[in-house]
Amino acid sequence: MKSYVSLDTEAKLKNTQEQSPHIHFIGIGGIGMSALAVILAKKGYSISGSDQKKSLTLKELAENQIHIFPTQAESNIDKIFKVHGKNILIVRSSAIHEDNLELCKAKKYNLRITHRSEILAFLIEQKQSIIVSGSHGKTTTSTYITTLFSYANKNPTAIIGGIVPLYKRNHNFSDGEFLIAEADESDGSLVQFNPNIGVITNLELEHVDHYKNLEDLIKTMQQFAQKCEYLITNFDCENLKDNIQNTKWFSIQKISNIDFALIPKESNGCEIIADYYEQEKFIDTIKIPIPGIHNLSNTIAAIAACRLSGILFKDIKKGIDNLQLPLRRFEYKGLWKKRLIVEDYAHHPSEIDAAISIASSIIKTKQNLSKISPKRLVTIFQPHRYSRTNTFQKEFAKSLSKSDLVFITPIYSAGEAEIKGINHKTIGYELKKLKPKLEIYTPDNNKNLIKLIKEHTIEKDLILIMGAGDINIICANLFLKLINNKSIRNNLAA
């Protein structure tokens, strides 16, 4: 297949190690950047990076002989330049603004600057690739695929936008023939990728800071679809059915004329039992050890990708029992004062609906996931970006209205400028109009949030913490005694 990577970037990266550039990542601690940096380091490239936030990720990077600068200062580029001269490749993401000091100094030195997507595109060209995109479920689906591949003894290289439980990190390096990665559509850069197999989980308006409307997003996804040698898409998503040309369909609702179907039979707050079909032919009944109908859709997407890659179903089935959600996807954190704490990355109304659906199922079916059986749903939501809050404030209110008690924190800006009249309280106003008797709190700071949580939650509450910002860190200050990052099987056994 033809490469769409910048020829300059490709040529530099393909040279021998002695001629290869030193590669510097601005913001190396990011979930996508860090995975790329480690993979390149393991391939023998000289790597450095900068990040202002301390994290376990940076510790792992340092263990892979990657030099980490704790600030993003001009002097970092000066120091690298003294050692490597102009033979330096600067990698940035869309999160790095034009006034970034390192970026500005790199431009003064006339250094080669590239986007992280070009590096991923280069790596995609080196192997048989499976690339997962879609508005929701990318990280979960790509985590499932890597897990199923690994249990089928097909050790893949993986670059994932979350922590994969099997690896306990967001990447895996392998000399094997396959690469699995997720393609973030948030900035449109996925149109550079040429996957052997593409997967699109679903499609609805998201990333309104980049896309002016749904039609704009659809055009980008159509370009991505055209670059895929084979494309697997979700028949249950109307936007995909109406707008994207594919190779194979998957579904959790329909069998007729569907290539891969997984039809639910029984479900509760812990697992789903479903019938698996290929080309309308019944194959087997399988138990998926993860709750949530959206996760069933992610499961069949992963199975479809594995089957299209040539993995036998009997080998896939071995891995299904071992499927786990990536971290911060309905992650059970433990008990705090007889309250069950769950954390989820949800930051779009559809994702909030999915997380609340699982939580409600746990309460309704009286699943004894720990020493308590929760009776009431408490949601703590941190809105992510002013643009998203402005677009979806009514939808956020509708989703949160399914709770028994709601806390809404100040918006995590993710570097965006404020929008006048838009804040976390505007969601609270919409929610109050929708459900006047619902108990709602919109604290102005973290200290007040923690105080209100202590005052208004009760024993046997299921406390669902949602958001893509730093809400997990904020709540860890309150729930410190229980946070140990172990799985529910080890941490919550009665």
Q: What is the pLDDT of residues 294-304, one digit of tens each?
A: 899 999 999 99
Question: Of 320, 348, 383, which one is at a domain's C-terminal end?
Answer: 320
Kindly state the helix (H) or strand (E) to which residue 115 belongs, with its residue range. strand 112-115
Q: What is the mean pLDDT of residues 401-418?
A: 92
Residue 45, pLDDT > 70, answer: yes
Distances (CA, A) of 34 to 102, 136, 202, 337, 428: 18, 22, 26, 36, 36
User: How confident is the model over 334-338, as a mean pLDDT?
Assistant: 87
Q: What is the CATH number of the domain that holds 199?
A: 3.40.1190.10
Are residues 153 and 107 located together in one domain of the fold? no
Q: Are residues 141 and 257 in the same domain?
A: yes
Asked if residue 57 and residue 90 are part of one domain, the reply reads yes
pLDDT at 209: 76
- Indicate whether 307 and 195 sit together in one domain: yes
pLDDT digits (tens, 9 = 90+) for 183-216: 988 788 899 999 999 999 999 878 777 788 989 9
Residues 75, 195, single domain; the answer is: no
Query: Residues 206, 211, 217, 223: is their CA dihedral positive or negative?
Result: negative
Residues 352 and 407 in one domain: yes
Which two tokens mark 58? 């940076």
Average pLDDT, the chain: 88
Do 154 and 288 lie in one domain? The reply is yes
Q: Considering the domain boundaries, does residue 406 fall inside one? A: yes
> What's the CA gap between 138 and 298, in Å, rounded?
8
Residue 394 lies in a domain: yes
pLDDT tens-digit series, residues 244-279: 999 999 999 999 999 999 999 988 778 899 999 999
- Give the residue from 115, 145, 174 where a domain finishes: 115
Instruction: Give alpha helix (H) positions in 321-468.
Output: 349-364, 386-400, 424-434, 446-456
Q: Answer yes or no: do 174 and 279 share one domain.
A: yes
CATH code, 352: 3.90.190.20
Query: What pLDDT is stored for residue 10 in this prediction?
Result: 55
How far apart, in whole angstroms, are the C-alpha atoms of residue 466 and residue 476?
A: 13
Q: How many CA atoms lie within 13 A of 478 on its CB side?
A: 23
Classify residue 2: in a domain, yes or no.
no
pLDDT at residue 20, rounded to an integer: 84
Q: Is residue 326 part of a domain?
A: no
266 and 313 together in one domain: yes
Q: 14: domain CATH number?
A: 3.40.50.720
CB 340 within 8 A of CB 295: no
Residues 173 and 87 both lie in one domain = no
Instruction: Give residue 480's pLDDT band: very low, low, confident or very high (50, 70, 90).
Output: low
- Number of independent structural domains in the chain: 3
Q: What is the band of 361 on the pLDDT scale with cuts at 50, 70, 90?
A: confident
Note down the domain range covering 11: 7-115
pLDDT value at position 369?
60
Residue 437: inside a domain, yes or no? yes
Query: Would you tell me the crossing angle of helices 293-308 and 138-151 to the nearest 10 degrees?
Result: 50
337 and 296, same structural domain? no
> Mean pLDDT throughout 174-190?
89
Higher per-residue confidence, 473 vs 437 = 437
What is the dihedral angle through the alpha carbons of 194, 200, 205, 209, rounded to the nearest 10 degrees?
-40
* Separation in Å, CA 233 to CA 199, 237, 247, 301: 6, 9, 8, 8
- Both tokens assigned to 323: 């499927």
> Considering the domain boundaries, does residue 404 fall inside one?
yes
pLDDT at 2: 31
Q: What pLDDT, on a 0 to 100 scale, did the predictor assign at position 494?
A: 25
Asked if the structure places residue 245 within a domain, the reply is yes
Is pLDDT larger for residue 12 or for residue 233?
A: 233
Distance CA 485, CA 489 (A): 12
31 found inside a domain: yes
Residue where a domain terminates, one of 86, 115, 144 = 115
pLDDT at res. 395? 93
139 and 26 within one domain:
no
